[in-house]
Structure 1
Amino acid sequence: MSKVLSLFVMTLMLSCGSAQLVETTTVSPPTGPSGPDGVKGSVVEEVSEVKASGGSETEFTDAKQIETLMNYLASDDLKGRDSGSEGIEMAAKYIENHFKSNGITPYFESYRDTLSNYKKTSYNVVGIVQGNDPTLKNEYILIGAHYDHIGIITIDKGDAIANGANDNASGTATVMELARYFGTKKTNKRSLIFALFSAEEKGLLGSEHLAKKLKAQNLNLYTMLNFEMTGVPLKGKDYFIYITGYKKSNLAEISNGYSKENLVGFLPTAREYSLFQRSDNYPFHKEFGVPSHTYCTFDFTNFDHYHKVGDELSLMDFDHMATLVNKMLPVLEGISNAPGQEIKIN
């Protein structure tokens, strides 16, 4: 109990990921990206066939593909992906290769969006899959996650690398797989922006930078959907995932309608600790005033290694992560293809 209480106290100062308050058709997909030579995960194994199931859940990805991505992103070679570091530069190149290999084009002149609000050179990685409807393609859905973590920290049992497997290589891998689906399938009527943010751990700086930049460009943003700490399943819940800011819009209802199950639920602790304000959804809420939420499966009781060196790959549940991606696909497809904007601010 004391460990749980101390963790709860810590979350008053720390975000779900941020260190400041300041959340029976078969298709063979393209081979994924490769990392630098000699880095664990640099050789991507062949992905299993894509199959459309008869149920409501599309079996697009699997644990093997998720593990391939996670093996690279949470590798010791990336040294905890601190913003402005060599390790996060390697992660950025890996994400860029994944986007390029799977039909996601750069949103700007390149995939890189250089932060203007952080002293060290850091990048968001931003791609787009244009909508296929001549009218709805002018409405944008932004799907994001932060790919940075906290780097090298105090040595604990001989280890000083905070790999950030759950926080937030898991959310990054989730977004990369969602991007791969839409990049290869092109089933979206609205345009989808896929953004992996840097400097979240420095106070949501990457998402803040991008939100202000897109607002200045008068982007017609419909909704922002963020993924944070999705590496381990919830326990003892009658839903699969929760969203922060549950009562701020009808996103949970819309998500559950498209998934045809009780996919998204309400976590009281998320409201108690103001998690809505503590991840990369929040800057878009502030700048655009549109429905902006974070999907998460970390509930303070199912993972004891937040911002510690113990946040390792070995603790991740790849089957859970693959299931999450597969369950989210009909949700995102439904939201992107609906005739009208169904998600409404309460």
Structure 2
Amino acid sequence: MKHLKNILGICLVSLFITSCGTKEIVIQAQEVDDIVTYLASDELLGRDTGSDGIDKAATYIENYFKENNVKPYFDSYRDSFTVQGKNAFNVIGYIEGTDPKLKNEFVIIGAHYDHIGFAKPVGNDSIANGANDNAAGVGTVLTMAKYFAKTKSNKRSILFTLFSAEEKGLLGSKHLAETLKAKNIDLYLMLNYEMVGVPLVGKDYTAYVTGFDKSNLAEKMNEYAGKKIAGFLPKAGEYRLFMRSDNYAFFKEFNVPCQSFSTFDFTNFDHYHKVGDESDAMDFNHMAKFVNTFLPAVKKAVNAETKEIRLNADTE
């Protein structure tokens, strides 16, 4: 009865909803459950960069992309670099845009898939499984990739990027941002998902945006969603979270809106970098609702005829 709290979401497995005469695929609780539960399992030993565990995680992500017809952007899904003499790799999927002109512009949807490996033991447990940090973000990105691969509804091209070595100092995103800058891609937007496995409490929005005042991203996402899904968390500024996740390297290289969404507000989750960050602590019904809430807004951002999301004048 491990996931009894998710039964209602799991029972929706074949559900489709009809909107504007077209069928929209709905992400189910079981889908994110499967992803997060595997990535945060003891078998992967906390997914430390350079470890056998993170290699297994990368293979899982690659297979997920293959099974859902998401192609690699480079020659393979792995974007390789080294960290302290160890091999590391981002894992990147690619869905080309459907519009002859807009497909030359890119949106990046990302999350880091590494964690810290081990932490202070509690009883016999020393594995820092990293369910919320950040298998939950990976689940969000992968299910969004599945959605766009099935619907073929993106006018702009999308890179689905899972970063390694975030916990080592944002090294994977730095490497990829520099690589893509050297290729001179036309990056419109980077949306990063960080620690979204449990819901916010007492807020009137679904997730907060780091660097809230740097762009009109929150305003446009709320407009696209038709409700307030993105909000401002004062502590995000206090702790400088905009500069402490994988969005930051892309902002530095491209000077376009590159921001993170999170539901971890320092009060609603007690297991950051601890052995208690297990899949059992996640709320998969919340996660499915989170993805389904954000997808319509992300879709409108990807398909906007012009670059409506932009930096504020004092940020550029």
Shift of 1:53: 4.7
Residue aligned with 1:90, SS: helix
Give the letter aligned to residue 159 of structure 2.
Answer: I
1:48 aligns with 2:4: no
Give the letter aligned to residue 250 of structure 1.
Answer: N
Shift of 1:345: 0.2
- Counterpart of 1:70? 36
Answer whether contact 2:119 2:273 (CA < 8 A) is retained: no
Shift of 1:312: 0.9
CA distance in 2 between partners of 1:46 and 1:211 (Å): 40
Relative distance call for 1:124 and 1:90 in structure 2 (3 A) is same
Answer whether contact 1:47 1:65 (CA < 8 A) is retained: no
- Counterpart of 1:151? 117
1:268 aligns with 2:234: yes
Relative distance call for 1:108 and 1:334 in structure 2 (3 A) is same
- Counterpart of 1:183? 149
CA distance in 1 between partners of 2:143 and 2:252 (Å): 27
CA distance in 2 between partners of 1:304 and 1:165 (Å): 12
- Counterpart of 1:337? 303
CA distance in 2 between partners of 1:50 and 1:335 (Å): 25
Shift of 1:48: 2.1
Shift of 1:120: 0.9
Question: How high is the TM-score relative to the length of structure 2?
Answer: 0.92
Structure 1 alignment gaps of length 5 or more:
1-44
Residue 280 of structure 1, aligned match among 217, 228, 246: 246
Residue aligned with 2:91, SS: strand
CA distance in 2 between partners of 1:140 and 1:338 (Å): 12
Give the letter aligned to residue 266 of structure 2.
Answer: F
CA distance in 1 between partners of 2:17 and 2:121 (Å): 46
Relative to structure 2, which stretch is displaced further, 172-181 or 153-162?
153-162
Give the letter aligned to residue 223 of structure 1.
Answer: L
Shift of 1:49: 2.3
Relative distance call for 1:276 and 1:67 in structure 2 (3 A) is same
- Counterpart of 1:305? 271
Question: How high is the TM-score relative to the length of structure 1?
Answer: 0.84
Give the letter aligned to residue 328 of structure 1.
Answer: F
Relative distance call for 1:97 and 1:47 in structure 2 (3 A) is farther
Superposition pairs of residues 158-307 of structure 1, within 5 angstroms: 158-307=124-273
- Counterpart of 1:111? 77
Residue aligned with 1:52, SS: strand
Shift of 1:52: 2.4
- Of all paired residues, the percent bearing the same amino acid is 56
Answer whether contact 1:240 1:263 (CA < 8 A) is retained: yes
CA distance in 2 between partners of 1:318 and 1:296 (Å): 15
Relative to structure 2, which stretch is displaced further, 312-321 or 152-161?
152-161
Cα displacement string for residues 160-183 of structure 1 (whole angstroms, at most 9, x for unaligned residues): 000000000000010000000011
1:315 aligns with 2:281: yes
Give the letter aligned to residue 257 of structure 1.
Answer: E
The aligned length equals 301
Shift of 1:153: 2.6
| TM-align CA RMSD | 1.7
Answer whether contact 1:140 1:191 (CA < 8 A) is retained: yes
CA distance in 1 between partners of 2:17 and 2:110 (Å): 25
Residue aligned with 1:215, SS: helix
Give the letter aligned to residue 226 of structure 1.
Answer: N
Cα displacement string for residues 147-206 of structure 1 (whole angstroms, at most 9, x for unaligned residues): 000002332221100000000000001000000001111100000000000000000000
